[in-house]
Structures are given as C-alpha cells and as structure tokens.
Structure 1
C-alpha cells in the first residue's frame, strides 16, 4: 500500500479531522481541503499529515490518517512514496533529504500576483523569489498542483516570465485538482425558506471585508432592510470594535463557526455577498459550497470565480447600481437556481488526485 505524506509548514494552528466539527477551530479553506483529501485517499492508501506546529501524534478515529509532528514527518524511516508539500516550495529540499525516493508535489493555494515593474529593489526581490520558486521545482522534479484551471494558468503566467532558469523552465510540470465539497452537501427542502433580507460574507477578513462593508453601507441606502452576517476563520479575525462604526450598522459578526453552522447560515441567506475585486480566489470553496446548498453568490469576475459560477452570479464590484439591481431582482423572486458542479464532489476530486499522484510519469 503506497504511503502519502502531506506536509504543512504554514498552518497557523495544528488541525485534524475533528477540527471540522469544532466551532472556533481556527482553520480555513486550505486546512479543510487537506482534511477531506487525506480522508478520501486514506480509503486506499496510507496517509500521514505532518504539521510544523503539532506537538503530539494523533490518529483519526474514523479514518486511517496519522497526524504527525515535524520530527515524525522528517523521520527517514517513515517509508514514504509520495510527499505533497503544502504551499511552501522551500520545503522541497527538506522533504527530499529525509524521503529521497518519494515523488514530490507542491500543492499551491495562493494566487501569484505580478511583481513591481522596473528595476527597483522590490522588483528585483520579487523576480528572485519567482526564479527560485521554479528553480526548486525543476531541480527536485516536483509537480506544482494548483486548485483550479484558472489558478494553474496564473502559475504558468509567472513561470513564463522567468528568465534566469532558462531551459530548466521546460522541466517545471504544472497540473491542477479542484478543491472538494463533501458528497453530502445538497439542496435541502428548507433551503427554499431563505431570508430575502439576509446576506452573508464567509471568508477571512483580509480577502476584502472592508470593501464588502463599504459596498453594503451604500446599498442599504437603497435597500434599507438588508442585513449582513459575517463569518470568518479564527485566525486573522477582525473584530467589530476595530472597524469604522459607520460600516457596521445592520452587520452581525458571527466569528468562527463549525462547518455545519456555516452551511446552515448559507442556506438561510439570499446570497453570499462578496463584491470585492482585490484578492482573486484560486478556487473559492465558499462559492462551490454555497452553490451546492442552493444559495447563489454575488461576486466580481476575478480569479476562479468565472470558472466556478454561472454568469448571473458575477457583477462588477465597482458598479453599485448593478449590484443594487441584481439584489432587488433576487430579493423579489428572481434569484437564480444554482446547484453543485459534480466535478467538485469529493469522490471525483479524489480520482483526480490519484491521477496526478500515481499516473505514469508523475
């Protein structure tokens, strides 16, 4: 039985399967994705997840997954066939040193923004980081796995701008596997009883909360009975007392919720409200899960949003009138019917991971 090791040296807090069940567990979409993919692969493979800040070994009660400390994850006797590094390309040398025969992958979750132009110190630093990123991929024969087709093309665009690695560029292999939604997330009968005055924002504050709050304030001048619920992971949470009070009227801060509670909030809302155009989503797990429970999303066509969502869910975040018009239409019975995309279902995503990790030439 092949052994797959996921290694996460960037998580804010250690996590495990049980974290999805606990309110305030301080995990985000990336950690949730790791948990689900580890659980899905554990049905056919040995699976371990190493974390830099974990202090004790843990085994999942319902799945054959071992949650390892850094010391355990870097034990060369672990007998690993595949290592999937979370985000941090700089961990490739470490993993190759301790697991020399393992095939290496980097599971990227972050958008690669274009660097500063010109020849400033900032520009040169950015270029050096990009060159080193892909040089490590080439030298360690590691596949870069994005979380959507859009994300993979974003990575490819940065790769094509490299100069110093020269012919090694052709050795950098790119692929993508969608993040997953659980099999049991579906539209329920009670989803039809949503509150037409309730909007919800479900994401980390730095992904555009201030922009969303400003948009909401303006929109309420035209649709005053709207209310906005805000749920965020525990890390990086921006409490209401640190925000401009003029932006928090009719805003209800929910803090960090369990996954089940997030789905309940989504089901009861008119839509997921996300009119922000600064931080592209590489996938947008909130988008996929919201559609899966039957709730549309109203967001700017940036990042992977057009790949995940139907056209009627996209709106220019800078066009307040268009947002108001769309909300009025939905509020008055014209809300679009949305469903999950089957390619996002966990069973299909697991098959994609098996293709990437175990196919010939991987």
Structure 2
C-alpha cells in the first residue's frame, strides 16, 4: 500500500519557506509546520502549499508548492489558521478529511462560522489542551470537533554546563506580546537591583515601535535560533511578566525549560500554566513585589528546571501519527458506509 496524502495549506505566512534557513524573521508556526512535515514523510506523501509561494520545489521528501484552494486532493488536508480557506477546500473535496491547524486565537468574526464548520465536518487541531478548551467555549453550541496536539521542541534540547548569569534576564518574543509591560516591570525591578540587565531578542516578523528603552536594556534584534537557545542557557530566566498577550502554546517557554532556564510568566494566562514545567514559574505578574521576590529567590539559588517530555518532537510526532492513523481508519469505515464527508 502506498503512502497516504497529507496536504498542509498555509494561507497566512507572509513569505515562502521550505527549510530552516528560510525561517529568518518568521515565527513558531512556520517552524512547527516544517518540523512536522519533514518527520511524517515515512508514512505520508507530504506537500506544503503556501499562498506566498510562486514556484514548486522539493526539499527532502516534502513538496512545496503554490496554494490552490480549488484543487481536488486525496487524503488529509491541514489548513493553517484559516477557517474560510478550509471551507473552500471542503467544497472541492467532499470526501477528504479536513482540519484547521489552529495556532492563533480566532477573530470574533469567525464565531458565526463555528456552526458552518461543524456542519461541513471540519475539525480543529489546537496547539495545547488549554487552547483546545478555549476553542470549544468559542464555538459555543456548535458541535465543532476540537483536538489538541502540542507544538514540538527539538529532542536534543537539554541543560548543559553553561554557567548562569544571575544578573541577566532575557526576553525572546515578538514585541506585541506584552513587551511594554515587561519593560515597565524590569524598570521597577532594576530600581532596587541595579545590577540587573535585560536583553531583548525579536523574531522580526512584525514592525513595532517600542519607544525608548529603560536603562539596563540591550536590544539584540533578530537572532538565529541557536543564538536564542544559547542566551537561554546563560540567562537567569526568560523574563515574561505580562498580562496582555495569551500564548496558545508558548514555544519560548517550552524551549527555555528544556535547556533548564526558568520562565517568569503570569499565572492563568493562555497556556502558561500548561507549558511551564514547574508551577513556581507562574506568578501574579501584576504584583511587583511578587516579581521581585521570585527573581531574588532565583538569584540566590537558580531552580532546577527540566522540560516537559510530552513536548519533545519524538512524542509530538507519535501523537500526530496516532491521530492521523486513526483518521485514516475512520475515513475508510465511513466510505464503506456511504458517508459523504468525514472530519
């Protein structure tokens, strides 16, 4: 029996990508797509279609091509973040299994589509259990099937012997993810601990005016992924005490923890509590005294942090294999019973 077809459709990325070098100034969604696409080629004929792509190329066993929503496919179709694109795919593929791989919070304008999606038997794959629960609430009475599969981090991310700089804090997210709050919290903290420094790295996919930087802040710009990991190994913590942006997963949190770096995050916000591997990392980020106390404790004795093994790529790939394999079995059974489409 030949490999089943898996089509990943990305209507959202601002430019084409096909290998790690092409991810510069893109985000975690695109990195995750590449990781999953590459490791599923043993079982699936994988293609990745992108709206920003003009040419077709093969990188390893993955085919990258321009997006054509009106095309008829076999197998499973995974659409990145776009409910409307998934519905277009359904019109042309009545028997395919179609899923939206949801990495970002849906806009309120999509709430009315939840029932349409359910009627079209299009499911959602959320990137965390927390986000999956949120999407079920968002869909309301619509019986929209929602599943959860975590974003993967590399299997080879582990703590090493790099000494930690007790005075170095690190921020490694896009500036719209609460950087203004982070900077204000750092300025308040540094007023009592003048030795502290904050380094700010930016993935670079958004232009954002952050204004003047407080004293003690160094803007590093866009770093290669290996350099970000190296900073995480060196820093006392990833400093992320903001309340305005809810991570649907939080790749930075998972990767930092995997190399032994704690992350200071707001308790109860997005997937923070699910992804942070130790509850001591989740605090009330609106309380400057709590921030100061946690940083003081970590400066005195850095916590022993290890990553959550269920976010390792090897574990996440097994989740995808099980999920997609079960889908193939359900689809074959549905076809034998004359069902027209299967979520």
- Distance in 2 (CA, whole Å) between partners of 1:80 and 1:260 is 37
Residue 233 of structure 1: how far off its partner (Å) = 1.4
Q: TM-score, normalised by structure 1?
A: 0.85
User: Which residue of 2 is the match for residue 66 of structure 1?
Assistant: 63
CA RMSD of aligned residues (A): 1.8
Q: How does 1:195-214 map to 2 (within 5 A)?
A: 195-214=165-184
- Distance in 2 (CA, whole Å) between partners of 1:351 and 1:129 is 31
SS in 2 for 1:355: helix
User: Which residue of 1 is the match for residue 111 of structure 2?
Assistant: 130
Whether contact under 8 Å (1:40, 1:347) holds in the other structure is no
1:232 aligns with 2:197: no
- Distance in 2 (CA, whole Å) between partners of 1:201 and 1:96 is 41
- Distance in 2 (CA, whole Å) between partners of 1:205 and 1:82 is 35
- Distance in 2 (CA, whole Å) between partners of 1:59 and 1:268 is 37
Instruction: Select 2:255's aligned residue among 283, 289, 302.
Output: 289
Q: How does 1:177-216 map to 2 (within 5 A)?
A: 177-190=149-162, 193-216=163-186
Residue 58 of structure 1: how far off its partner (Å) = 2.1
User: Which residue of 1 is the match for residue 129 of structure 2?
Assistant: 149
Residue 335 of structure 1: how far off its partner (Å) = 1.7
User: Which residue of 1 is the match for residue 306 of structure 2?
Assistant: 339
User: Which residue of 1 is the match for residue 293 of structure 2?
Assistant: 325
1:27 aligns with 2:26: yes
User: Which residue of 1 is the match for residue 319 of structure 2?
Assistant: 352
User: Which residue of 2 is the match for residue 57 of structure 1?
Assistant: 56
Residue 97 of structure 1: how far off its partner (Å) = 3.7
Q: TM-score, normalised by structure 2?
A: 0.90
Larger fraction in helix? 1
- Distance in 1 (CA, whole Å) between partners of 2:116 and 2:198 is 44
Whether contact under 8 Å (1:92, 1:136) holds in the other structure is no
Structure 1: runs of 5 or more not aligned: 114-125, 163-168
1:140 aligns with 2:120: yes
Residue 98 of structure 1: how far off its partner (Å) = 4.0
